[in-house]
C-alpha cells in the first residue's frame, strides 16, 4: 500500500514539474513582440491610412431610413493605429473618395490641419513622444470620420500590457504548482 502511494506521489510530482517547465516556456514566449507593425521594438513604423466613403441606398422596409434615401459615410481605414512610445511614425494618408478633400488633424502630434484629396497621398512624420490615445479627425466629415492613434509606453520591462498580464498569471500558476510539488515531496 505504501509503495503504491509513493508511486502516485512521484507521478504527481513529475506532472507538477512538467507543468512548471511548460509555464516557464510559455512565459518566455509572452516576452516576444506581438505583431509586426503594432508592437515591434523597431525605431520606425509606417502605416497607410485610407480616406474612404461608403455609399448606399435604403431599400424597402428599412427601419430608420426612408426607402430610396441615399446614405454615405466617410471613414479612416484603418481607424486605429497602435505604436510604441519613442518610435518614429510615418502615416501616409491616401484619399480614395471625397472630392472636397479631408481636412485632418492628429491630436498632440499634427495639430495644424492638413488636406488630402481623392487620389492624393499626404505623408506626416513624427516621433511618438507621449503615451496615450489621440484623436485623428477629419473636420469635414463628422461624426464618422474619426480614428485614434494609440501610443503605448512599454518602457517598464519592455512589455505590452497583454504580455505583462499573461506573465503575471503564469507566475501565479508557477507558484501554485511549486507549492503542490513541495507539499507532495514533504509527505513522501
Give the domain CATH number at 136.
2.60.40.420
Helix and strand element counts for the chain (H, E): 2, 9
* Rounded-to-integer distance, Cα 129 and Cα 149, Å: 12
* Same domain (yes/no): 70, 97: yes
* Same domain (yes/no): 49, 112: yes
- DSSP 8-state class, residue 126: E
* Same domain (yes/no): 48, 125: yes
* Rounded-to-integer distance, Cα 13 and Cα 7, Å: 10
User: Residue 151 has what pLDDT?
Assistant: 94
* Rounded-to-integer distance, Cα 148 and Cα 78, Å: 9
Number of domain units in the chain: 2
* Same domain (yes/no): 59, 117: yes
* Rounded-to-integer distance, Cα 77 and Cα 48, Å: 8
User: Residue 13 has what pLDDT?
Assistant: 62
Residue 37 maps to a domain = no
Among 43, 106, 46, 37, residue whose Cα is nearest residue 76: 106
User: Residue 181 has what pLDDT?
Assistant: 73
Radius of gyration of the chain (CA): 27
Cell 497621398 identifies what position?
121
* Same domain (yes/no): 54, 79: yes
* Same domain (yes/no): 147, 164: no
Residues 6+ apart with CB under 8 A from 178: 16, 20
Per-residue pLDDT of the chain (188 residues; tens, 9 = 90+): 454 455 555 666 666 666 655 555 555 554 444 333 344 557 899 999 988 888 888 788 878 778 888 877 889 999 999 999 999 999 999 998 777 889 999 999 998 999 999 899 999 999 999 999 999 999 998 898 999 999 998 765 555 666 667 777 777 777 777 777 777 777 76
* Same domain (yes/no): 25, 108: no
* Same domain (yes/no): 142, 70: yes
The CA-atom distances, in angstroms, between 137 and each of 86, 123, 173 are 23, 15, 44
User: Residue 173 has what pLDDT?
Assistant: 76
Q: Which domain holds residue 12?
A: 2-31+160-187
Write the Ramachandran bin of 33: left for phi over 0, alpha for psi from -120 to 50, otherwise beta.
beta
User: Residue 16 has what pLDDT?
Assistant: 61
User: Residue 132 has what pLDDT?
Assistant: 93
85 close to 60: Cβ distance less than 8 angstroms: no
88 close to 44: Cβ distance less than 8 angstroms: yes
* Same domain (yes/no): 51, 86: yes
125 close to 93: Cβ distance less than 8 angstroms: no
* Rounded-to-integer distance, Cα 75 and Cα 62, Å: 22
* Same domain (yes/no): 48, 25: no
User: Residue 36 has what pLDDT?
Assistant: 33
Residue 124 maps to a domain = yes
Amino acid at each position: 500500500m505504501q509503495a503504491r502511494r509513493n508511486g502516485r506521489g512521484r507521478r504527481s510530482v513529475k506532472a507538477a514539474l512538467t507543468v512548471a517547465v511548460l509555464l516557464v516556456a510559455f512565459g518566455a514566449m509572452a516576452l516576444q513582440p506581438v505583431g509586426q507593425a503594432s508592437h515591434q521594438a523597431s525605431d520606425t513604423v509606417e502605416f497607410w491610412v485610407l480616406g474612404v466613403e461608403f455609399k448606399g441606398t435604403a431599400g424597402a422596409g428599412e427601419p430608420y431610413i426612408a426607402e430610396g434615401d441615399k446614405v454615405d459615410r466617410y471613414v479612416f481605414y484603418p481607424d486605429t493605429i497602435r505604436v510604441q512610445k519613442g518610435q518614429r511614425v510615418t502615416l501616409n494618408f491616401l484619399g480614395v473618395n471625397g472630392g472636397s478633400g479631408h481636412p485632418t488633424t492628429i491630436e498632440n502630434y499634427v495639430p495644424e490641419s492638413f488636406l488630402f484629396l481623392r487620389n492624393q497621398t499626404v505623408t506626416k512624420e513624427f516621433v511618438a513622444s507621449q503615451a496615450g490615445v489621440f484623436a485623428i479627425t477629419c473636420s469635414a466629415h463628422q461624426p464618422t470620420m474619426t480614428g485614434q492613434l494609440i501610443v503605448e509606453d512599454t518602457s517598464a520591462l519592455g512589455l505590452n500590457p497583454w504580455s505583462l498580464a499573461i506573465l503575471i498569471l503564469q507566475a501565479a500558476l508557477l507558484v501554485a504548482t511549486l507549492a503542490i510539488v513541495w507539499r507532495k515531496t514533504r509527505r513522501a
